[in-house]
């Protein structure tokens, strides 16, 4: 197979001349291809076949030990003018970027196959979809792209028929050395080059690189939004479905919220949840003046640890077939487990580093040795999820009633509050912060500012990004309302105050009621909060005092927060919209009043 698309053929030839693979293979997306790739990887040991009776179609992968999360410090936006990348991005000139990466790519595919993957983000042929072609020397990446995107022959046919443009995504493992790893974005060339990593967002280039970094860049130019958001529908007992889009930083609960199971107390009311997406939303204003969202992905790349039949029964059902498991514990019976997974804890197994593991083992510092890496993941087709929406293939997507921001804040942020209006909501998003998780390399637990959960994913200057959000708000006649949630507030003993997971529906119920103007709220200095009895706590035993702790607004903590916001905003200099500073000052005034 090759292609009639001249530019594509030329680009593939160029990449092959640089990387010097043994062979070039065009991926058609067929089952035959999947079987062949799996067989090859079983033979080389790159993948391990799991018990096909218990886990049909499932395979196991262990990455290199230094390649287990996105490496933000090695991720760059390469624009001609450095200011366009902004203080939120690492920057290289396009010339330096290409040169540095080419030095690593050169001859790196010797002895390897170069796979060509035509893929579509969004339904194939939808006017809102984007086509990319990823080149990779990793069969594991091909198998992941099969799940995460629509890929193969149909996409290539479309590209040839329309002679259309495509994002050039060149990926290679090279020697998987962190010192020879670069994830580079060239928005002005519609190009992504990633070398030296085989993991997740570093290597599945349709995901964070195309859908968010290039997507956000395009969104600003074309008048739409590319966001790190889940999308879900909440169907009430009358059959009305309210759709929400929610931005939480990596490993802060998007996958879990997107498919939550209503808790007993609320189930009686007859709620149903529809999952549209768990990580990325592309949102446009339609002719009705509302914001409509599509999920450009076709699968989920979800966090394994903490996932079990109690916290997320939908995903547990989904990952029983056709799933790729990465960096979890491999059990003797060729099934898998992870910390916080379903009991029983296995007595032994092989850990994510490939070492013999026994439960209860501790290291030289007395810390438990983990069977699964904290950022271990499953890759699963979204159609496997029992709560999947029937609107996934619809090119208009779903109308968004509410946008929700949130993060991990052991202190400060109350369970939920509502912004006073769009502009204030943009400020609430712009001032988000969260404790760092294992999804990116760095110090876990440290609070860092992560506006709209997009700090690592905004492909241009974030000052301009906030301005773009403000403009989008002005263009809508029925803009979504904006809220902030915090499932992760803790008490003095370090225990979560809120049960989370399915119980989060109690908060979503209030949010939807607000959107339908069915319930009043209490105005506070930071936003509108629920009146005392407006969150349905049926079936929970939470005291009044407990709820007060969840909603407490400590002025001293907020004063301190203002200092953090001030310092952060200043890094954007005069690209920071004056409206954001206005919101800052009015919050300051309200807090001192």
Based on its alpha-carbon atoms, the radius of gyration of the chain, rounded to whole angstroms, reads: 23
Kindly state whether residue 439 participates in binding ligand SPV, applying the rule CB under 6 A: yes
Min dist CB 144 to ligand SPV, Å, is 10
Piece in contact with ligand GTP (CB under 6 A), picked from 48-56, 428-436, 496-504, 514-522: 496-504
- When asked if residue 279 is in the footprint of ligand SPV (CB under 6 A), the reply is yes
Residue placing its CB nearer to ligand SPV in the complex, 370 or 439: 439
Number of helices (H), then strands (E), belonging to the chain: the values are: 17, 31
Closer of 86 and 201 to Mn ion (Cβ): 201
Distance between CA atoms of 361 and 580, rounded to whole angstroms? 50
Q: Report if residue 418 touches Mn ion, rule: CB under 5 A.
A: no
Least spacing, CB of residue 296 vs ligand GTP, in Å? 15
Using the contact rule CB under 6 A, the part of the chain among 185-193, 252-260, 348-356, 578-586 near ligand GTP is: 252-260
Q: Given the complex with ligand SPV, which of 278 and 351 has the nearer CB atom?
A: 278
Task: Give the nearest distance from C-beta 238 to ligand GTP in angstroms.
Answer: 26
Cβ neighbors of 495 (< 8 A, separation 6 or more) are none
What is the closest distance, in whole angstroms, from the C-beta atom of residue 279 to Mn ion in the complex?
4
Q: How many CA atoms lie within 13 A of 148 on its CB side?
A: 28
Residues 248-267 that bind Mn ion (CB under 5 A): 250
Q: Which does 215 bind (CB under 5 to 8 A by kind): ligand GTP, ligand SPV, Mn ion, none?
A: none
Give the separation between CA 550 and CA 415, rounded to whole angstroms.
6
254 touches ligand GTP by CB under 6 A: yes
CA distance 256 to 316: 11
Q: How far is CA 123 from CA 28, 282, 292, in A?
A: 16, 13, 15
Q: Which helix (H) or strand (E) holds 10?
A: helix 6-19
Stretch that binds ligand GTP, among 56-64, 140-148, 250-258, 571-579 (CB under 6 A): 250-258
Question: Could you say whether residue 201 binds ligand SPV (CB under 6 A)?
Answer: yes
Does 278 bind ligand GTP (CB under 6 A)? Our answer is yes
Which of these ranges, 160-168, 191-199, 267-275, 278-286, lies near Mn ion under the rule CB under 5 A? 278-286
Closest residue by Cα to residue 458 from 182, 215, 195: 215
Region of 274-282, 331-339, 346-354, 549-557 interacting with Mn ion (CB under 5 A): 274-282
Q: Which partner in ligand GTP, ligand SPV, Mn ion, none is near 311 (CB below 5 to 8 A by kind)?
A: ligand GTP
Question: What mask, x for binding ligand SPV by CB under 6 A, covers residues 290 to 329?
Answer: -----------x----------------------------
Least distance from ligand SPV to the Cβ atom of residue 194, Å: 12
The values of phi and psi at residue 225, to 5°, are -125, 135
Of the residues 86, 132, 198, 200, which one makes contact with ligand SPV according to CB under 6 A: 200
The structure tokens listed for 241 are 């479905």
**Minimal distance, residue 559 CB to ligand GTP, in Å:** 27
Contact residue for Mn ion among 46, 67, 279, 509 (CB under 5 A): 279
**Is residue 125 a contact partner of residue 158, using CB atoms and an 8 Å limit?**
yes
Residue (212 or 580) nearer to ligand SPV, CB: 212
Cβ nearer to ligand GTP, comparing 427 with 501: 501
Given the rule CB under 6 A, which of 23-31, 73-81, 245-253, 541-549 is the region that contacts ligand GTP? 245-253
3-state secondary structure of 199: coil
Cβ(415)–Cβ(498) below 8 Å? yes
Is there a contact between 456 and 70 (Cβ–Cβ < 8 Å)? yes
Classify residue 387 by burial, with Cβ atoms within 10 Å: 0-12, 13-18, 19+.
Answer: buried
The answer to the question of residue 253 lying near ligand GTP (CB under 6 A) is yes
487 touching ligand GTP, by CB under 6 A: yes
What is the enclosing helix (H) or strand (E) of 380? strand 377-381
- Using left for φ > 0, alpha for ψ between -120 and 50, and beta otherwise, residue 335 falls in beta
Helices 215-222 and 462-475 pack at an angle, to 10 degrees, of: 50
Where helices occur in 53-199 by DSSP H, the ranges are: 82-85, 94-105, 139-148, 153-162
Considering only residues 283 to 312 of the shown chain, the ones binding ligand GTP according to CB under 6 A are 302-303, 305-307, 311
Q: Is the dihedral of CA 142, 146, 149, 154 positive or negative?
A: positive
**Distance from C-alpha of 378 to C-alpha of 301, rounded to nearest angstrom:** 6
Q: What angle do CA 507, 510, 512 make, to 5 degrees?
A: 110
Return the active site residues.
Answer: 252
Minimal distance in Å, beta carbon 305 to ligand GTP?
A: 5
Question: The tokens of 512 are what?
Answer: 């939807």
CA separation (Å) from 214 to 5, 89, 189? Answer: 23, 13, 10
Q: Which helix (H) or strand (E) holds 507?
A: helix 505-515
User: DSSP 3-state assignment of 499?
Assistant: coil
- Smallest separation (angstroms) from Mn ion to the CB of 147: 16
Q: CB of residue 542 vs ligand GTP: minimum separation in angstroms?
A: 15
Could you list the residues that contact ligand SPV (CB under 6 A)? Answer: 70, 200-201, 207-208, 250, 279, 301, 439
Could you list the residues that contact Mn ion (CB under 5 A)? Answer: 250, 279
Could you list the residues that contact ligand GTP (CB under 6 A)? Answer: 248, 250-256, 278-279, 302-303, 305-307, 311, 439, 487-488, 496, 500-501, 504
């Amino acid at each position: 197979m090759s292609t009639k698309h001249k530019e594509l053929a030329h680009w593939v030839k160029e990449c092959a001349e640089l990387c010097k693979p043994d062979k070039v293979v065009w991926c058609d997306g067929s089952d035959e291809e999947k079987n062949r790739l799996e067989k090859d990887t079983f033979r080389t040991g790159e993948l391990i076949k799991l018990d096909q009776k218990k886990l049909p179609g499932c395979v196991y992968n262990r990455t290199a030990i230094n390649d287990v999360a996105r490496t933000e410090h090695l991720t760059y936006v390469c624009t001609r003018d450095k200011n366009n990348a902004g203080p939120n991005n690492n920057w290289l000139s396009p010339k330096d970027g290409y040169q540095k990466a080419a030095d690593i790519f050169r001859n790196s595919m010797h002895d390897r196959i170069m796979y060509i993957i035509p893929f579509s983000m969004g339904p194939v042929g939808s006017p809102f979809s984007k086509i990319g072609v990823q080149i990779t020397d990793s069969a594991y990446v091909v198998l992941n792209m099969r799940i995460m995107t629509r890929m193969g022959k149909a996409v290539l046919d479309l590209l040839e028929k329309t002679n259309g443009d495509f994002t050039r995504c060149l990926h290679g493992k090279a020697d998987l050395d962190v010192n020879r790893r670069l994830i580079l974005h060239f928005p002005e060339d519609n190009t992504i080059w990633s070398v030296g990593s085989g993991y997740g967002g570093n290597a599945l280039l349709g995901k964070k690189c195309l859908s968010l970094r290039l997507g956000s860049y395009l969104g600003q130019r074309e008048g739409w939004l590319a966001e790190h958001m889940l999308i879900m529908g909440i169907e009430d007992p009358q059959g009305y479905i309210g759709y929400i889009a929610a931005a939480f930083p990596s490993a802060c609960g998007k996958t879990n919220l997107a498919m939550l199971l209503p808790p007993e107390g609320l189930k009686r009311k007859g709620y149903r949840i529809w999952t549209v997406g768990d990580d990325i939303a592309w949102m446009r204003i339609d002719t009705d003046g509302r914001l409509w969202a599509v999920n450009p992905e076709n699968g989920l790349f979800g966090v394994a640890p903490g996932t079990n039949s109690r916290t997320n029964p939908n995903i547990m059902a989904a990952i029983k077939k056709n799933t790729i498991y990465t960096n979890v514990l491999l059990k003797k019976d060729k099934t898998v487990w992870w910390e916080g997974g379903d009991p029983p804890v296995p007595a032994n197994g092989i850990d994510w580093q490939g070492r013999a593991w026994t439960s209860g083992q501790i290291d030289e510092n007395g810390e438990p040795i983990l069977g699964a890496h904290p950022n271990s993941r499953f890759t699963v087709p979204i159609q496997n999820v029992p709560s999947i929406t029937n609107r996934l293939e619809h090119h208009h997507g779903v109308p968004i009633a509410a946008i929700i921001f949130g993060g991990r804040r052991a202190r400060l942020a109350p369970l939920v509050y509502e912004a006073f209006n769009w502009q204030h909501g943009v400020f609430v998003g712009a001032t988000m912060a969260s404790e760092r998780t294992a999804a990116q390399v760095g110090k876990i637990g440290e609070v860092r500012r992560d506006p709209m959960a997009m700090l690592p994913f905004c492909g241009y200057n974030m000052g301009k990004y906030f301005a773009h959000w403000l403009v989008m708000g002005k263009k809508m006649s029925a803009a979504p309302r904006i809220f902030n949630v915090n499932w992760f507030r803790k008490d003095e003993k370090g225990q979560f105050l809120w049960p989370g997971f399915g119980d989060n529906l109690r908060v979503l119920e209030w949010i939807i009621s607000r959107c339908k103007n069915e319930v009043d709220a209490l105005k506070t200095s930071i936003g509108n909060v629920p009146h005392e009895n407006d969150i349905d706590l049926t079936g929970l035993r939470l005291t009044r005092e407990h709820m007060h702790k969840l909603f407490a607004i400590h002025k001293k903590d907020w004063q301190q927060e203002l200092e953090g916001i001030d310092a952060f905003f200043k890094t954007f200099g005069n690209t920071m919209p004056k409206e954001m500073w206005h919101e800052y000052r009015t919050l300051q005034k309200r807090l001192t009043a």
